[in-house]
Every structure is written in structure tokens, then in C-alpha cells.
Chain A
Amino acid sequence: MSEAKVKSAATAREREGAAPPLTIRGLSAAYQKKPVLRGVSFTVTEGELIGVIGPNGAGKSTMMKAALGLIPRLGGEVLVYGKPYKQQRKLVGYVPQRESVDWDFPTNALDVVMMGRYGHLGLFGRPGAKERAIAMECLAKVGMADFASRQISQLSGGQQQRVFLARALAQDASLYFMDEPFAGVDAATEKAIITLLQELKLQGKTVIVVHHDLATVEEYFDSVLLLNVELVAYGKTKEVFNQQLLQRTYGGRLAFLDRNSLSKTDSAEG
């Protein structure tokens, strides 16, 4: 890492001392009576892109939602830059799954991005020219400036995803949670998103991403969190993204996985 990068990363750290962006201790959550997340603990390093990997039902989204307080926790502690999450909300940005909202809602792209500023407005504060300018800037960063006044149902899936990302950018957070931002987007959007993630990283921000495509994990992420209800492994991608640990994460589904990753390597070589 160059000096310049370290310096830009220092802003959040100066504000918050030397505490890591996120520390999770013993986080558990359940839907009805079935535990879907059991005693997960880890600490993330600042300025990293972290991939959260695991089979369906492994509790990846649940972990994010429980950490953000969107669903009740059974137990555990979440520290953001050394303090309880509730005191640090403004430092945290969130990109929910695209399907979590009704895109037929009467609003346009710019308006959705401006929602990212709501956390910075007071109880009765109304978004004004300043918020509008910030939102436009964020839309431009994801290549959506031309679609600002487009009704959101008139956008493609990839464009909707980019609007959600722009909204997270407008939050101007230091730590981001993104729930499957790459799900169902075309190659162009995927490239736009990963470029943006790398830009955030250069600014010293930390991004935690729920990810499904094992073929791109090594290329995209500095660290990987392998999850299957319990934490299987967490560490640098080089160290933990290996056959043995993946086997433990995905269990019986590995045969399929093996063939899959093999064919991908084949096609990449061919």
C-alpha cells in the first residue's frame, strides 16, 4: 500500500482512534425457533474488501441484518470503530438485496439516492439543493447520471442495483454492508460495481459483500469469511479460500462445486 492510500484511510481512523471498523463477538440469530446463525465472531481490517461466502441458508444475509439490528439478535455484540453500532450508524452504509423493495414505488432514481442522505437530516429536515447535488454526484459515480429522473420501475435490474449502490455512496459511510450486489446483473454492471468497490477501498473504506460466484472471489476480495450457520473460517483470501475449507463450508455440495470451478478454469484457459 502506498503512502497516499494510507493517508486517505487515516481519516476514519483519526476520528475513531485505532479501533477496527467492525468487531463482531458471538453473534447469534434465529428465525422462529430455528437458529440460522450461531456464535459468529470476527474482526475486520480497515480498507479491505471482504467477501462473505457460504451455501444457501448459511445465514449470510442474516448475519448482516443481525449486525445492523434489522432483525433481533439472540446474543452477541457488534462494535463499529470500537463503539456499539447504535452510536455509529452514520459510519455504516447498507445495500439491501434488490428484491427487498417494490420497484413500482412512485419515485425516481435521484430520489432513491437522496434517501441515502436522510440519516444526515434532522427530524423535520427536508432534502434540498445540497442533498440533490450530492445525490447527482453519486449517480454519476455509478454511471447513472442520465437516468436521474427515470421512474425506478423503468430501470433494468443492473441499473436498479447501481441506484442502490449510489444511495449507499450518498450515505458517505466508512463501513459498508452489501447484500449480494452482484446478483442478477450483467457483465457491464458487475464491472462498474467492482470498480466502485475498489475506489471505496482506495479511500480507506471497508466493504463487506455477500457473494455467490466462487470463480471471482480470489480476484475481488482481500479477505474471505466462510459461513455455514457457524463461522468456518475468516482470513486473507490466499490463506482461507482453499479446497479443504470450502469443503467444510459447502459440505455435500462440493462435488457440484468441484465440477463447476473446474469448468470455469477450463473456459478461462480456453
Chain B
Amino acid sequence: MNTLWTLLRDPNMQWILLSCTLLGLSSGIIGCFSYLRKQSLMGDTLAHAALPGICIAFMLTGTKSILYFLIGAGLAGVAATFGIGWITRHSRVKHDAAMGIVLSSFFGLGIVLLTLVQHGGYGNQAGLDKFLFGQAASMVGSDVLTLSIVSLLLVTICYFLFKQFKLVSFDPGFAKGIGYPVAMLEQLLMFLMVVAVVVGIQAVGVILVASLIITPAVSARYWTDRLGVMVVVSGLFGAISGASGAIVSSTGDSLPTGPLTVLAATLLFLLSLLFGSKRGILVRRMVQQRMKRSLGYGYEEQAATASVDDRLNKEASL
């Protein structure tokens, strides 16, 4: 506990904690729209596609700057999106299979490039492999600043365009009918997802970063039937996951941040699944019981369980 306290008082740690929290917040918020538009897996594809982009950005610039990585990963994401679009348009391959093909091939290429980089003559390639599973503690001041600003920007855009994003997610046809630039809004949502994925990579890693997009949104859905509330809850879950990942990984023996963040998010998901106030298993059970009782099944069920108990007792006594 003492070590945790000293850690939290370390200004460097505070910055990392802040950026991981903001990162989780923005991913959680963007994730709601991806989830409702049934695009959750797109986040995973984009994240895996980002790896070759990052490697190429490093090979070209020779620096580990988040800005260049963002550009590289963003371009790779765009290429992956076009690749998926091209495959589905020009063959009979369905969207999910096309995503699988693109995801794995980009990731394979990424790993090859990563290996090349590590064995190549690049001076400061150390730590590039941290992009696989994320290492928040390895972030430097300028990274933290970039991450925080980008995350806040994402949240701000979602705040101001909430109405548009909501309608496009629910009923794109109607949105188009009233003159919304639906194609542009959809592209924007996709772009925001790419940005969320890319800024999340350093902290969570390419393999797992998608779970920060998917899991908080899915968990939040268990607590509410209102989109506004869902977005806030999802952002909160993401923030908690990001913060706990950062804290635990810096106290432990250089544990990677990504897996811990994901485990925190998964824990929140399990809690939501069980106790969620709208769709949680317990609430559903209770509603079902109440319904049964109001329909007059309560007595018979009691009688039925009683007779089973009796029988069990008899069998036990035999």
C-alpha cells in the first residue's frame, strides 16, 4: 500500500495515470457508437492493421514519436478499411471473413516488420515491441501530452455531435432523409475509432486495444436503456479500466499494461452481466419471479421443489 502511495505521488506516474484514464474514457465513449453500429470487430481489425503502419513510420523517421505513429497507423487503418471494402465488393466473400483476412495479413506483415526493425541497424528501436502488449510506464512527457489532448478532443467531438452520431447509429436512412451527411458522419465515426485505437496502442498494445472499445460499451448497456447514460457509463468503465491497468502495471514487476487493463474491463463486464440494473442476470431473474408469482405459479413451484426435497431426503436416508 505504501509503495502505491509513493507511486501516486510521483508526478511522472500521475501524468501516466491521467493519460491512461483519459484514454479509457475516450475509447469507452467512441466504443458505444461502434458497438451500436455493429462495428465492434472493426476496432480489432484497425488495431491489428496499425502495427505495420507504426513499424513503417518508425523505419522512415527513425523516431518513436506518437505523432508519426498516429499518421502511420491511421494510414494503415484506412488501407485496411479499403481492403475490406474491396474484397467484399469484388468477391463473394462476406464482411466478417474479409475482416479476418485483412486483420491477420496486416498483423502478420506488422510482426515481420517489427522483427526486421529489431534486427536492423536502427539506433533506438528498443521498446517498439512494447506496442504489442502496451507499456504505459514507458511513455515520456510529450507522449502523455499528445495522448491526453487527443483523448479530450475525441470526447469533445462526441459531445458536440452527439445528436448526429445517435441518429446515424439508430436510423441512417432517416438521417439521410433529413439531410444529414450520413456518409461523412460514418467516416468520421470510423476515423475517431482509428484515432482511439492508435492512441490506445502505446498503453494497451495492438493485440488488446480493441477490448477497450468493445468491453466498456457492452458492459454499460447492462445498466441503462438511454444512449446518453450508456455513453457516460461506458466512458467511466473505460476510465476505471485504464487507470487500474496503469496503477497495477507500475506497482508489479513490469507487468504489461494492456492485459491488466483488459482484465479490469472484463471484471467490470462480469459485474455488469450479473448485477446490471437493466439487463443483469439477477434483475432478469427477479422480474421473472415476480411475473411468475403474479400469474399464480409461485405456490405450485414451491410445492414442486418441496416434493423434490422430500424425495432427496428419502433417498439420502436410504
Chain A residues with a Cβ under 8 A of chain B: 65, 68-70, 86, 89, 92, 94, 96, 100-102, 105-108, 111-112, 115, 118-119, 121, 124-127, 151, 167, 171
Contacts and interface: CB of A to CB of B under 8 A. Distances in A.
Contacts of A171: 178
B171 A96 contact: yes
Nearest to A124: B160
A118 B167 contact: yes
Interface of B: 36, 38, 160, 162-163, 166-167, 169-171, 173-180, 221, 224-227, 229-230
A106 B226 contact: yes
Contacts of A89: 177-179
A151 B174 contact: no
B221 A106 contact: yes
B225 A92 contact: no
Contact of A92 (B175, B177, B221): B177
Contact of A119 (B36, B179, B221, B230): B179
A70 B173 contact: yes
A59 to B, nearest CB: 17
A102 to B, nearest CB: 8
A101 B230 contact: no
Q: Which of A101, A106, A124 has the most CB of B within 10 A?
A: A106
B169 A105 contact: yes
A89 B174 CA distance: 12
Contacts of B229: 106
A93 to B, nearest CB: 8
A171 B175 CA distance: 12
14 contacts: A96-B173, A100-B171, A100-B173, A101-B170, A101-B171, A106-B36, A106-B224, A115-B166, A115-B171, A118-B178, A119-B178, A125-B163, A167-B174, A171-B178
Contacts of B167: 115, 118
Contacts of A96: 171, 173-174
B213 to A, nearest CB: 17
B28 to A, nearest CB: 15
Contacts of A105: 36, 169-170, 227
A107 B178 CA distance: 20
Q: Which of A107, A124, A151 has the most CB of B within 10 A?
A: A107
A108 B229 CA distance: 13
Contact of B226 (A94, A101, A107, A112): A107
A106 B163 contact: no
Given A70-B177, A106-B221, A119-B179, A126 B170 contact: no
Nearest to B169: A105
A102 B38 CA distance: 10
A118 B177 contact: no
A89 B230 CA distance: 31
Contacts of B162: 126
A92 B179 CA distance: 11
Nearest to B36: A105
Q: Which of A108, A124, A171 has the most CB of B within 10 A?
A: A124
A96 B180 CA distance: 16
Task: Kindly list the 7 A-B residue pairs having the minimum CB-CB distance in the complex, ordered from nearest.
Answer: A119-B178, A151-B225, A94-B177, A89-B179, A101-B171, A106-B227, A105-B170
Contact of A106 (B171, B173, B179, B225): B225
A118 to B, nearest CB: 6
Contacts of A124: 160
Given A70-B173, A101-B171, A115-B170, A108 B178 contact: no
Nearest to B32: A106
A105 B179 CA distance: 22
A115 B174 contact: yes
Nearest to A179: B173
A105 B171 CA distance: 10
